[in-house]
Amino acid sequence: MLAALAVVVAAVSCGQKKEAPKVLVLYYSQTGNTKVVADEIVARLGADVEAIEAAVPYDGSYRETIDRCLQEREAGTVPACNPIAADITKYDIIFLGYPIWFGTYAPPVAAWLNEVDLSGKKVVPFCTFGSGGLDSSVKDLEAKQPEAILLPGYGVRAARLDAVPAEIDRFLKEHGFLEGTFEKLGDFSEQQPVTEEEAAIFEAAVKDYPMMGGVQASSVGSRKVPGGMEYLFTAVPQPREGATPDAKMPPMREMKVYVTALEGEAPVFTQVVR
C-alpha cells in the first residue's frame, strides 16, 4: 500500500509541476558591448541565444557609421538583416538587446521588429549606451509592437561594463527570473535644492563626459544603496558664455541624471533621461 501511495503522490506531483518558460536572448551588438550583457543573462538563465546580424555590417569607423545611419534615417530605410534561426513562436520570454543609436534601438533591431509579430510575447529590453536611452527605446518598442508584453528593462553605460555582472544578477532576481536574495532599494527622497557637497558630486560624475558639458544640477533626491548612495539629479543645460539665443532652436530641456557614489570610489553617472 505504501508503495502504491508513493506512486500516486509522485504522479500527482509531476502533474502539478509547472513547465519552465522557454527563454531566448536575442541581441544586436556592433562593438561587443551589448554582447557582454547578453552573455551575462545567458550564463545565469541558461537561455538560448542568437545575434541579429546586418547583411552589410556596420563595420566602418565611428564617423562612417554615423553617416550611414543618417543616410538611412533621411531615406526612411532600415538595413537588410540575415534571417535568425530561432523560431520565435516557441519562446515565452524574449530578452531583446541593442545599443542605443540616435536615442533608440540600433537600425538592425528596427529591421527585425518590422518583420516579426511579438503579440502576447513577454519582452525584456536591455541596452548599452553612452549616456542613456532605455526609456526612449522602450517607448519606440511599445509603439512598434503594441501587442507585446513589455517587462522592465535594463540599461548600462558602455563606460560601466565592469558593473554588469552584479547589476544583471540583481536585475534577474528582482524581477523574478532568478531565485535568490537581494537588498531591496528604497524610494528616492523628494527633490530638494542641491547643496554645495551634492553639486560637487554631480560635477565629479559628469566632468569627463563631453555631452554633459555646461549642464548644471538644480535639485536632487537620494537613497541608500549597498556600499554608498545614489542620487537623482534634475539638471538643465546652461547657455554657453557669450552665445546669443537662437529662435530656431528648441528650448533647452530639463533632464534627469542618475549618479552613484560608492564609498572609496569616484562618483559616476549611470544614465541620463531626457
pLDDT in tens, 55-75: 999 988 889 999 999 999 999
Flag residues of the chain having pLDDT under 70.
1-18, 239-252
> Whole-angstrom Cα distance, residue 137 to residue 177?
22
**Ordered DSSP codes for 74-129:** HHT----BPPPSS-GGG-SEEEEEEEEETTEE-HHHHHHHHH---TT-EEEEEEEE
Q: What 8-state DSSP symbol labels residue 200?
A: H
> Whole-angstrom Cα distance, residue 142 to residue 137?
9
Residue 211 confidence (pLDDT): 81
Q: What 8-state DSSP symbol labels residue 257?
A: E
3-state secondary structure of 203: helix
Phi, psi angles (nearest 5°) of residue 52? -85, 130
Nearest C-alpha neighbor of 55 from the set 111, 105, 95: 111
3-state secondary structure of 228: strand
Residue 7 confidence (pLDDT): 46
Residue 13 confidence (pLDDT): 45
Q: In the block, which residue shows the cell 509522485? A: 10
Helix (H) or strand (E) holding 63, with range, is helix 62-75
Q: Which three cell numbers stand for residue 72?
A: 538611412
Q: Report the predicted TM-score, pTM, of the whole model to 2 decimal places.
A: 0.88
Residue 9 confidence (pLDDT): 45
Q: In 10 A of CB 145, how many CB atoms?
A: 18
- CB 96, CB 123: distance < 8 Å: yes
Kindly report the three-state secondary structure assignment for every residue of 114-182: HHCCCCCCEEEEEEEECCCCHHHHHHHHHHHCCCCEECCCEEEEHHHHHHHHHHHHHHHHHCCCCCCCC
Residue 97 confidence (pLDDT): 98
